[in-house]
């Protein structure tokens, strides 16, 4: 399996932080997608690049079978501990370990920007059943200085590390053109759903430490950055973090 080395090392070393700090997905968004795709207790869906199973947990119970695919052994182990009944398999978006036409929908949460877009889209088309659905989701932080007075200093501290790490393989919205160019999918639909995460300062530090460009820093540098994040947040006990989930979906034609 070929995985971007920043993802391979960053996520494998930050499993606990990823599980603790990353937000989940609004249940209404997943329920609406399941309805849009006509999923039933007889359906099989694929959570691609499933990580620790944040999205997988929303899918279980809506369909009959969930297959979770992720290249990281450490991530899959965490997923298996939390969801032992889920079929968790090693694999990548460019080499999905399921048969042709064998899943009714593919869901991708917080991961499509890591994929080699054209290869991944052809693989997704291969594994989908006729008319099967594809849903891509990203949680976007909608934080404000009014609620988080340290936000400007937070950005000034962390933005240079993000820029130094370089672009993601599928940066921006170029994937939309690639999807259209395959000729395999219907026109894309999109929506946004707001949700709120109530968390603690330590969980925020865990979130930051789960970002690949922080997780891959040398130990001393990473500890210094995370310590400075904790100092910025200060003594408050609870934090309200607002997110907007960007949702994009289409079907195989």
Span 18-41, pLDDT tens digits = 999 999 999 999 999 999 999 999
Q: Which of 1-5, 20-24, 169-173, 237-241 has the least mean pLDDT? A: 1-5
Query: CB under 8 Å to 82, separation ≥6 — which residues?
Result: 52, 53, 57
Residue 139 is predicted with a pLDDT of 96
Query: CB under 8 Å to 130, separation ≥6 — which residues?
Result: 101, 252
Query: CB under 8 Å to 114, separation ≥6 — which residues?
Result: 3, 4, 7, 49, 93, 168, 169, 170
| Burial (0-12, 13-18, 19+ Cβ within 10 Å), 220 | exposed
Tokens of 110: 């917080």
- Above pLDDT 90, what percent of the chain? 90
Q: With 90 as the cut, is the pLDDT of residue 12 above it?
A: no
* Largest Cα span, the chain: 54
**139-160 residue pLDDT tens:** 999 999 999 999 999 999 999 9
Residue 57 is predicted with a pLDDT of 97
Which residues on adjacent β-strands are paired with residue 135? 107, 249
Residue 168 is predicted with a pLDDT of 85
Residue 1 is predicted with a pLDDT of 58
Mean pLDDT rounded to a whole number for the chain = 94
**What is the SS3 assignment for 72?**
coil
What class does CATH assign to 5-142+171-195+242-251?
alpha beta
Tokens of 77: 């182990």
- Report the C-alpha gap between 69 and 58 in whole angstroms: 15
**What is the SS3 assignment for 95?**
strand
- Report the C-alpha gap between 157 and 228 in whole angstroms: 8
Tokens of 209: 């430490």
The three state secondary structure string of 8-62 is HHHHHCCHHHHHHHCCCCCHHHHHHHHHHCCCCCCCEEEEECCCCCCCHHHHECC
Residue 188 is predicted with a pLDDT of 97
The 87-89 sheet, strands edge to edge: 87-89, 65-69, 44-48, 103-109, 128-141, 239-251, 189-199
Which residue carries 């607002």 as its tokens?
Answer: 242
Q: With 90 as the cut, is the pLDDT of residue 89 above it?
A: yes
Q: With 90 as the cut, is the pLDDT of residue 48 above it?
A: yes
Q: Which of 91-105, 158-172, 230-244 has the least mean pLDDT? A: 158-172
- Which backbone phi and psi does 147 adopt, to 5 degrees? -90, -30
**193-248 residue pLDDT tens:** 999 999 999 999 999 999 999 999 999 999 999 999 999 999 888 999 999 999 99
């Amino acid at each position: 399996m070929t995985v971007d080395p920043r993802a391979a090392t960053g996520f494998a070393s930050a499993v606990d932080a990823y599980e603790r700090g990353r937000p989940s997905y609004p249940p209404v968004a997943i329920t609406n997608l399941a309805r849009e795709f006509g999923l039933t207790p007889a359906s099989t869906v694929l959570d691609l690049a499933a990580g620790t199973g944040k999205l997988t947990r929303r899918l279980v119970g809506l369909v009959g079978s969930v297959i979770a695919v992720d290249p990281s052994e450490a991530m899959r182990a965490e997923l298996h501990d939390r969801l032992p009944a889920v079929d968790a398999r090693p694999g990548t978006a460019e080499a999905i370990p399921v048969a042709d036409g064998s899943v009714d929908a593919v869901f991708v949460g917080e991961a499509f920007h890591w994929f080699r877009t054209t290869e991944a889209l052809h693989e997704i088309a291969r594994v989908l059943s006729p008319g099967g659905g594809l849903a891509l989701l990203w949680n976007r932080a909608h934080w404000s200085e009014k609620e988080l007075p340290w936000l400007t200093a937070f950005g000034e501290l962390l933005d240079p590390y993000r820029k130094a790490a370089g672009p993601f393989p599928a940066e921006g919205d170029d994937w939309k053109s690639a999807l259209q160019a395959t000729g395999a999918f219907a026109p894309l639909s999109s929506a946004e759903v707001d949700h709120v995460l109530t968390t603690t300062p330590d969980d925020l530090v865990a979130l930051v430490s789960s970002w690949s460009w922080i997780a891959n820093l040398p130990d001393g540098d990473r500890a210094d950055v995370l310590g400075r994040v904790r100092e910025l947040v200060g003594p408050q006990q609870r934090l309200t973090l607002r997110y907007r989930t960007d949702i994009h979906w289409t079907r195989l034609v």
